[in-house]
Amino acid sequence: MEVLKAISISKNFGGVSAVDQFAMVQPENEITGIIGPNGAGKTTVFNLITGVYPLDAGEIWFYGKNITGLPSHRITDLGITRTFQNIRLFRNLNVLDNLRVAYGIKVRYTMWEEMIRWPRVKREEGETEELARSYLAYFGLEKYGDMFPYNLPYGLQRRLELARALMANPKLLLLDEPAAGLNPKEIHQLIETLLKMKEEKNLSIIMVEHHMELVMNICKMLYVLNFGKKIAEGEPKDIQQNEAVLQAYLGDEG
Amino acid sequence: MEFYIKVLEITCLHTILVLGAYLMTGLTGLFSLGQGGFVSIGAYTASIAYLHFNVPFPMAILMAVLMGSAVGFVIGIPTLRLHRDYFLLVTFGFGEMVRAALLHLAQLTGGALGIAGIPKVVDLPMILVSILFITFLIYNLKRSRFGRNCIAIRDDELAASLMGINVYSHKMKVFILSSAITSYGGALYAFLIMFIEPNLFNWLESAKLIIITFVGGVNSITGAIIASVVYYSFGEFFRFVDVWRDVLLALAVLFVTIFRPGGIFGSWELSPKNLLRWRVKKD
């Protein structure tokens, strides 16, 4: 089953082609990597999938449904969540509420019920808190529930953002440089967590990443971008030998 | 005694307006200088309905609230797509537009002469009950999904929309609710001070609502209420500082923004649980 299908998607910023006719297919319950030098347009691909920018051309399909042009909140609602290259947690919500806010799409009470604290609100708030606490425990953050996110060490902020992206039980998870700024031990933990999550929740994952060890270890398929164009795709071991890729990363041979 | 009750009435009435501004500016981060416009809309709608069309008082108040919400909706459609400073400018324009319209629609509004002869129906208990009720509603919203979404939008709109929040429609809900509360306050105001005119509530008064919210603490309803009560009663109880009231407010704003950027009360709320926790901490 195809989870996500991008059909020659393009995006220009004032005449500069950020993504040029990029195409990819994401199979179910697999991890795919998008790699490439800085400024290759990897994050832009994520922004196009999640509706942050409108597409200039092309189409995006999610589980057989055309999601091209949908607003971000609808796309999240359908089951695509993401993390950000520069962590974007909510600084005025505590750690627990950062998780709870992500669960808002699953909560069923209405604004009117909220105003008068109808029993259903109390019940669902209780359920949300329980779920959020279980995620905190899973990610080893249970001590920090009442703290504000930007008082946490960097590694824990990354973990919290990952937990937040998983909170609403997505079908497809987009990770934008999940290993940036992490030490080797934390990267090892990240790999374990991702593989475990993938199995437990039947999750599909696309990641943009620079850390080669991580990408080569857990990705089934890799797409390589350079100047917005796809220069290679294939399994990690083939990509390692690919001449165009080596050239993009290391430059021409002397 | 009567004097103090008068002061309290005016103070508490302004607190209703601060609560309206709290929802919008404090929780959601929408800076509106148009709150005064909604105060006037509420005051004029209720007064004209009562005096010219013999609508009974409760119905007149209800009409004011509905009118405020409707205008909020119409104004919200284009303005809520704008971002911070642009939104501020357009709402400023809206407030002044309402003022000008009231001045020039003299046949209905009495123009610069205003509307006199409104009976004093509103008293202190009525205002206090209103404050309690509105605080109850806002507090409930603040501590569940609605409030979390507001704060998320204030902190990072893009991330909020990627949490599945429809930012535009959420802002619309906030704007309409705030307009409803503010025009309710305006309607009560007319039946409290018995005379209204177009300059009743200019943009400076709207700005004060925002400033008070910030001094009290954007994440604390308790803070907003206390700051409001202190500010609006202060000048009356201490007549000798009268003209210095705004100087003191300015100083308070300066000190708070420098030393406590989150407001005096930060995110602390007055609730039995928090009081208990505070006592435990002290012990």
Please write the tens of the pLDDT for every residue from B64-84: 999 999 999 999 999 998 887
d(CA A137, CA A132): 9
pLDDT of residue A55: 93
Give A13-32 pLDDT, tens digit per residue: 988 889 999 999 999 999 99
Dihedral, CA of residue B97, residue B101, residue B103 and residue B107, to nearest 10: -170
Average pLDDT over residues B180-191: 95
- pLDDT given at position B279: 60
pLDDT tens profile B122-173: 889 999 999 999 999 999 999 999 999 999 999 999 999 999 999 999 999 9
Contact pairs from chain A to chain B, CB under 8 Å = 89
User: B261 contacts in A (CB within 8 Å)?
Assistant: none
Q: Which of A115, A120, A123 to mutate to test the interface with B (most CBs of B within 10 A)?
A: A115
pLDDT-derived band of residue A98, with 50, 70 and 90 as boundaries?
very high
Distance, CA of B39 to CA of B52 (rounded, Å): 20
A132/A1: higher pLDDT? A132
> B170 to chain A: which residues are within 8 Å by CB?
none
* 3-class secondary structure per residue, chain B: CHHHHHHHHHHHHHHHHHHHHHHHHHHCCCCCCCHHHHHHHHHHHHHHHHHHHCCCHHHHHHHHHHHHHHHHHHHHHHHCCCCHHHHHHHHHHHHHHHHHHHHHCHHHHCHHHCECCCCCCCCHHHHHHHHHHHHHHHHHHHCCHHHHHHHHHHHCHHHHHCCCCCHHHHHHHHHHHHHHHHHHHHHHHHHHHCCECHHHCCHHHHHHHHHHHHHHCCCCHHHHHHHHHHHHHHHHHCHHHHHHHHHHHHHHHHHHHHHCCCCCCCCCCCCHHHHHHHHHHHC
Among chain A residues, CA nearest to B158? A52
Q: Tell me the HSE value of B9 on the side-chain side, using a 13 A CA sphere.
A: 19
* Among the partner residues A76, A111, A114, nearest to B162 by beta-carbon distance: A76
A222-242 burial, b if ≥16 CB within 10 A, otherwise e? Answer: bbbbbbbbbbbbeebeebeeb
- The per-residue pLDDT for A21 is 92
- pLDDT the model gives residue B67: 96
CA distance A8 to A251: 27
| ipTM of model | 0.91
**In chain B, pLDDT over 70 holds for what percent of residues?**
94
Cβ of A90 within 8 Å of Cβ of B152? The answer is: yes
pLDDT of residue B239: 66
Higher pLDDT, A103 or A239: A103
pLDDT at A38: 83
Q: Give the per-residue pLDDT at B116.
A: 85
Looking up tokens 């430059």 gives A251
Averaged pLDDT score across all residues of chain A: 90
Q: Which band of pLDDT confidence, cut at 50, 70 and 90, is reported for residue B106? A: confident
**Span B114-129, average pLDDT:** 89
Q: What is the pTM of this model?
A: 0.91
**Nearest residue of chain B to residue A101 (CA atoms):** B148
Compute chain B's Rg from CA coordinates.
19
Residue corresponding to tokens 């509106």: B32
Would you tell me which residues 137-166 of chain B have a C-beta closer than 8 angstroms to some C-beta of chain A?
137, 140-141, 144-146, 148-149, 151-152, 154-156, 158-166
* Residue B243 confidence (pLDDT) above 80: no
B-chain residues near A102 (CB < 8 A): 163-164
Residue B163 has its nearest CB partner, among A104, A116, A125, at A104
CA distance B136 to A232: 59
Q: Shortest CA distance to A231 belongs to which of A246, A215, A221? A: A246
Give B223's contacts (C-beta < 8 A, 6+ positions apart). Answer: B215, B216, B217, B263, B264, B265, B266, B268
Segment among A217-231, B8-22, B149-163, B264-278 with least mean pLDDT = B264-278
d(CA B204, CA A185): 56
Q: Chain-centre distance of CA A249, in angstroms?
A: 24
Chain B positions touching A88 (Cβ under 8 A) are 156, 158-159
pLDDT of amino acid A240: 83
pLDDT in tens, A200-223: 989 999 999 888 888 888 999 999
Q: pLDDT digit string (tens) for A184-203?
A: 898 998 999 999 989 998 99
**What CATH number was assigned to the domain covering residues B2-282?**
1.10.3470
A92 vs B145, B164, B219: nearest CB: B219
Give the relative orientation of helices B167-193 and B145-155 as an angle to the nearest 10 degrees: 110
Least CB–CB distance from A125: residue in B141, B144, B149: B144
With CA atoms as reference, report the closest residue to A101 among B130, B163, B16.
Answer: B163
Domains of chain A plus CATH, in order, are 1-79+170-254 (3.40.50.300), 93-168 (no CATH)
The whole-angstrom separation of Cα A248 and Cα B3 is: 80
Mean pLDDT within A36-47: 89
pLDDT at site B18? 95
Count of helix runs (H) and strand runs (E) in chain A: 10, 10
**Cβ pair B114, B198 in contact under 8 A:** yes
User: Which residue has better confidence, A183 or B260?
Assistant: A183
In angstroms, the CA A16 to CA A134 distance is 45
